[in-house]
Amino acid sequence: MKNFIYIIFILVSLTSCNEGLLDKKPLDKYSDVTVWSDIDLADAVLRDCYKNTSHGFKGYLMLSAVTDEVYNKHMVGYVDGNLTADEVWTYWERQNGSKSLFHIGWWNFKNIQRINYFLDNVDQVAQAYSGEERLQVEESIAVKKGEALFLRAFLYTHMARTYGGLPLLSESFQIDFDFSKVERSSFKETVDFIVADCDKAAELLPLKQNIDLGRATKEAALAIKSRILLFAASDLTADEEVVNELVGYKNADRVALWKSAKSAAKDVMDLATLQLSDFGAPDQVAVASNYFNFFKAKDLSDDEIIWGKMFLDNVGERHRMNLWMGPNGQYNWSSTNVTQELVDNYEMADGSKFSEHFDMDADGYYFNKSNKYAGNIYSNREPRFYASVLYDGAKFQERIESLRDFDTIGIYDRRTVETIHSDGSKTQEFGLDTRQGPIQEWSGSFTGYIMKKMLDDEVVGKDEYNSNVWIEIRYAEILLNYAEACMELGELNEAEKYLNMVRNRAGMPDFEGDIEEALRHERQIELVFEDKRWFDIRRWKILDKVLKPVRGVRIIETRDQVKNDTVVTWQNFVAFDRGSITDKLYWIPLSIDELNKAPQLQQNPGY
């Protein structure tokens, strides 16, 4: 069968105008023979693999929506406890870019086929060259093979942490391939396959400083190895309750698994090419500003960033995070509603817990119980809170011109002002960003909060595209991976050292108390909204503890002209209930459509 690779032309020059029409070669496609005899065309195939490797900026539904970080009204099925094999395609896997999480789903096998097609053929390219040029092309081919192996390992890592053991495909399918022979491999075999790809990729790939930004690197290959081995060593896949070998290890050697996870993280650290970005600690105001700006970056050059995806705002693949997630009072959609649980998990500026200073009465109203921090529940919080969450009174960006008469500063306005007039009458005024306000009330947050991290305060969401990068993996994650593995191995001093390194960089003091609680807290806060939390709460087997009813806040400012007094109250309330949390939610089912095509594939437990 003759295959064709489609590419984008920047310029097409038409020559030989007197040739017969039927003698002309297609101007929008190349044959296999042509592609695999030109290193640049072969690279176009590889770049297509990159293009089809997805990311977290695919629409108004992020992976945070299946965690305790946020609520999103478009995420149904899973958070209701009702996800079934019949519905998984609709609510999880379909590639429509907005209402699904296909970037970690079964759909990735389509791109794995592309990658395998590249790996099966790229060695042919060198045969078209000779002499010194051939040596250079062979060197280039080796690097590109490393890139392809990295991409395959990356996609398999996403899917292995979503489904468990997978069909392991190391070659591209041919037209006569017998799909009835495809079986799911065990979880162990799948992890071993990923690790082998990472190791081989790391051998072939240069360091980040020696390759174009956005392409795979030695650091990235070793980082993905760290990520999968941390997951593999955790309770979900390695404790004594593993149901079968598709979803974990039977009779696992936990010490050996944790040692492998530790070594993998240490391999990244020992490259000595990465470092935590300097956010200006101990100046907490500087930290808040610089942490926010870190995620506004337009490229991946920072030494903390290991790998991610870059965008332009006027061409190619683009995203509109400001429109999707920004305030409704700026004509955006407020799709990701931060939960009160997350807000209350942010520590105070001195590292103490919010609950040490504030409590709730029987009706959910917050009250102060501390002499140190009083008044507004959002005051004196740690820097990453101010960089990550838009809360009532937080300054974000200047309003569009037509709204500046209402708000000259550019604050997120979530409170309702109730005025008791001198004649005893009462009036209400709703904030611009509430669900009762004058601007797109239908798209206001249900909880009273939205995400700030990963938005760009210089982008007008309703009119403009974003160009800030998606950071897939960064050095802070590796340090936390290493700290967790050390903790599990009983190497507590080493674990504390690297846990505190991440905290101190954020302007926070060393942790106090239980190290496991502190480490899990730090992963939640440092990596919030970065597509990490769902994998963490599953591998720790704490879904039933954290996926509680979604809570938000009601803020009432009462201006009493009779008493000449103003009082503000913050009331915690249940915004939405979640469904029952059962063990089946630790894994996503294979869809019925997929099982109908390949009935020999075994379904995941509970489905």
16 and 103 share one domain? yes
Whether 581 has a pLDDT exceeding 60, the answer reads: yes
Residue 71 has phi, psi (to 5 degrees) of -115, 140
User: Are the C-beta atoms of 88 and 591 separated by less than 8 Å?
Assistant: yes
Whether 119 has a pLDDT exceeding 70, the answer reads: yes
In a domain, 420, yes or no: yes
Q: What is the mean pLDDT of residues 278-287?
A: 98
485 against 181, higher pLDDT? 485
Q: Which residues contact 522 (CB under 8 A, 6 or more apart)?
A: 480, 499, 502, 503, 511
331 and 227 share one domain? no
Query: What does the pLDDT read at residue 99?
Result: 54
Q: What is the mean pLDDT of residues 538-562?
A: 97
Residue 221: CB atoms within 10 A of its CB come to 28
The number of residues making up the chain comes to 607
Whether 132 has a pLDDT exceeding 60, the answer reads: yes
In a domain, 67, yes or no: yes
In a domain, 481, yes or no: no
Whether 602 has a pLDDT exceeding 50, the answer reads: yes
CATH of the domain at 77: 1.25.40.390
In a domain, 386, yes or no: yes
141 and 68 share one domain? yes
Is 451 in a helix, a strand, or coil? strand
336: tokens are: 């990701």
Whether 268 has a pLDDT exceeding 60, the answer reads: yes
167 and 29 share one domain? yes
Residue 66: CB atoms within 10 A of its CB come to 25
Q: What is the dihedral of CA 581, 584, 585, 586, to 10 degrees?
A: 120
Query: What does the pLDDT read at residue 291?
Result: 98
Q: Model confidence at 19, in pLDDT bands (50, 70, 90)?
A: very low
For residue 282, is the peptide bond before it cis, meaning its omega torsion is within 30 degrees of 0?
A: yes
- Give the pLDDT confidence of 338-350 residue by residue, as tens digits: 999 999 999 999 9
Q: Model confidence at 111, in pLDDT bands (50, 70, 90)?
A: very high
Q: What is the mean pLDDT of residues 516-531?
A: 98
Q: What is the mean pLDDT of residues 445-455?
A: 98
Query: What does the pLDDT read at residue 525?
Result: 98
Query: What does the pLDDT read at residue 292?
Result: 98
Distances (CA, A) of 395 to 127, 327, 389, 409: 60, 11, 11, 7
239 and 386 share one domain? no
Q: Write out the residue range of the structural domain in which residue 557 sits.
A: 321-468+548-576
Q: What is the mean pLDDT of residues 100-112?
A: 88
223 and 248 share one domain? yes
Query: What does the pLDDT read at residue 89?
Result: 76
């696992």: which residue's tokens? Answer: 252
Is 103 in a helix, a strand, or coil? helix
206 and 331 share one domain? no
Q: Model confidence at 26, in pLDDT bands (50, 70, 90)?
A: low
* 3-state helix/strand/coil string of 73-86: CCCCCCCCCCCCCC
Please give the tally of structural domains in the chain. 2
């292995």: which residue's tokens? Answer: 160
Residue 1: CB atoms within 10 A of its CB come to 6
Mean pLDDT of all residues in the chain?
92
Q: Which residues contact 18 (CB under 8 A, 6 or more apart)?
A: none
91: tokens are: 């609510």
User: Are the C-beta atoms of 449 and 343 separated by less than 8 Å?
Assistant: yes
Q: Judging by DSSP bridges, how do beta strands 389-390 and 450-451 pair with one another?
A: antiparallel
- How far apart CA 500 and CA 509 sit, in angstroms, is 8
In a domain, 497, yes or no: no
Whether 6 has a pLDDT exceeding 70, the answer reads: no
In a domain, 432, yes or no: yes
Q: Which residues contact 21 (CB under 8 A, 6 or more apart)?
A: none
398 and 251 share one domain? no
Whether 472 has a pLDDT exceeding 90, the answer reads: yes
In a domain, 427, yes or no: yes
Query: What does the pLDDT read at residue 393?
Result: 97
- Give the pLDDT confidence of 87-102 residue by residue, as tens digits: 887 777 664 545 567 7
246 and 342 share one domain? no
Residue 34: CB atoms within 10 A of its CB come to 14
Work out the percent of the chain whose per-residue pLDDT is above 90.
85
593 and 565 share one domain? no
DSSP single-letter state for residue 92: I
Query: What does the pLDDT read at residue 29?
Result: 75
- Give the pLDDT confidence of 31-87 residue by residue, as tens digits: 899 999 999 999 999 999 999 999 999 888 899 999 999 999 888 788 888 889 988
- Give the pLDDT confidence of 381-437 residue by residue, as tens digits: 999 999 999 999 999 999 999 999 999 999 999 999 999 999 999 999 999 999 999
In a domain, 521, yes or no: no
Whether 172 has a pLDDT exceeding 90, the answer reads: yes
Query: What does the pLDDT read at residue 579?
Result: 87
249 and 343 share one domain? no
561 and 593 share one domain? no
Distance of alpha carbon 179 from the chain centroid: 32
